[in-house]
């Protein structure tokens, strides 16, 4: 199957939960993340989904911890990667705290779980609507995370009512929920794509376990994009332990090319996702 639109590969190198006990090569420090970012860029990634940790190694969304990591990555890759911050709560942060982080940090891109940022209820939806509009007005590329067909149906409803302001929103479809022994099934993607039928958006997929590459390959044949990495999976397609995130990226990029689809550069990814590049990377943060 020949697809004209290049596939964006986003690396998710660490996540909020794993430690070096899970994989000795899990990048956590600014220097480790910068080196991993460069290696993944060279392997085919156009974006990095960034989690940061505090001085105790715990998940945080505090801009104080984001800024030095973003600076270190920019020093390594320049504008060769889109850097996407996360608002993931992990049971620690309220919607208000997540919104405050984005307003303070003003990243070039951000991922947000629609269920966390926009709980059901008129007052909550009004607050989320004002925030999503602010994100768009400040030229921050937003990606909305959806976990189920029900999430998709609600998201489409929110978009139809103007609460999601983008004409062509970017979404991430998560196949399964986080657990240490979860392995996603590519077939889980099909009802989600059916629910999206007729809705205009850019969509990507993330998955868990050794089937990650198979799930991403199905997305490749359907015109979607991929988020890959140690956050959700440390295994190669043959179930051996990956030496690093770059190995997962390079293996999958080769598979995508065999499927007849090209890999997006950061420049192409920015055009697709309408990400506005910073002019002076080393001085923004």
Q: Please state the φ and ψ torsions of residue 252, each to the nearest 5 degrees.
A: -70, -40
Has residue 3 been placed in a domain?
no
Measured CA distances, 209 to 175, 186, 228, 242 (Å):
11, 11, 11, 11
pTM of the model as a whole: 0.94
The reported pLDDT for the residue numbered 178 is 58
Measured CA distances, 159 to 117, 125, 132, 155, 192 (Å):
14, 12, 11, 6, 17
The reported pLDDT for the residue numbered 179 is 53
Has residue 179 been placed in a domain?
yes
Domain count, the chain: 1
Has residue 168 been placed in a domain?
yes
Has residue 1 been placed in a domain?
no
For residue 263, give the CATH number of its domain.
Answer: 3.20.20.70
* Residue of 218, 275, 252 whose CA lies nearest to 12: 252
Has residue 136 been placed in a domain?
yes
The reported pLDDT for the residue numbered 176 is 81
Distance CA 14, CA 89 (A): 15
Has residue 22 been placed in a domain?
yes
Q: What is the dihedral angle through the alpha carbons of 79, 243, 9, 138, rounded to the nearest 10 degrees?
A: -50
Has residue 215 been placed in a domain?
yes
Q: Which residues of the chain have pLDDT under 70?
A: 1-3, 177-181, 277-285
Distance CA 274, CA 40 (A): 22
Which residues are CB-neighbours of 126 under 8 A, at least 6 positions away? none
The reported pLDDT for the residue numbered 279 is 46
The reported pLDDT for the residue numbered 280 is 42
Query: Which residues span the domain enclosing 93?
Result: 9-284
CB 45 within 8 A of CB 81: yes
Q: How far is CA 165 from the centre of its chain?
A: 20
Has residue 2 been placed in a domain?
no
The reported pLDDT for the residue numbered 277 is 63
Count Cα neighbours of 1 within 13 Å in the Cβ-side half-sphere: 11
The reported pLDDT for the residue numbered 217 is 96
């Amino acid at each position: 199957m020949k697809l004209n639109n290049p596939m964006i590969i986003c690396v998710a190198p660490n996540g909020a939960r794993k430690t070096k006990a899970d994989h000795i090569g899990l990048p956590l420090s600014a220097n480790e993340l910068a080196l991993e970012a460069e290696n993944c860029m060279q392997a085919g990634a156009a974006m990095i989904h960034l989690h940061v940790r505090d001085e105790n190694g715990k998940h945080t969304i505090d801009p104080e911890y984001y800024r030095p990591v973003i600076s270190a990555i920019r020093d390594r890759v320049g504008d060769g990667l889109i850097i996407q911050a996360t608002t993931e709560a992990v049971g620690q942060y309220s919607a208000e705290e997540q919104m405050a982080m984005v307003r303070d940090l003003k990243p070039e891109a951000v991922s947000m779980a629609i269920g966390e940022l926009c709980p059901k209820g008129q007052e909550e939806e009004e607050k989320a609507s004002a925030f999503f509009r602010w994100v768009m007005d400040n030229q921050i590329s937003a990606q909305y995370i959806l976990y189920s067909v029900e999430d998709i149906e609600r998201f489409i409803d929110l978009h139809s009512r103007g609460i999601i302001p983008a004409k062509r929103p970017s979404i991430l479809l998560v196949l399964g929920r986080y657990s240490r022994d979860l392995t996603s099934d590519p077939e889980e993607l099909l009802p989600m794509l059916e629910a999206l039928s007729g809705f205009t958006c850019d969509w990507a997929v993330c998955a868990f376990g050794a089937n990650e590459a198979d799930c991403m390959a199905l997305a490749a044949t359907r015109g979607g994009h991929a988020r890959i990495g140690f956050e959700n999976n440390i295994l190669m397609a043959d179930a051996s332990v990956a030496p690093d995130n770059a190995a997962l990226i390079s293996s999958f990029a080769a598979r995508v090319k065999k499927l007849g689809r090209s890999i997006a550069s950061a420049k192409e990814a920015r055009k697709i996702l309408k990400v506005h590049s910073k002019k002076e990377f080393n001085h923004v943060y």
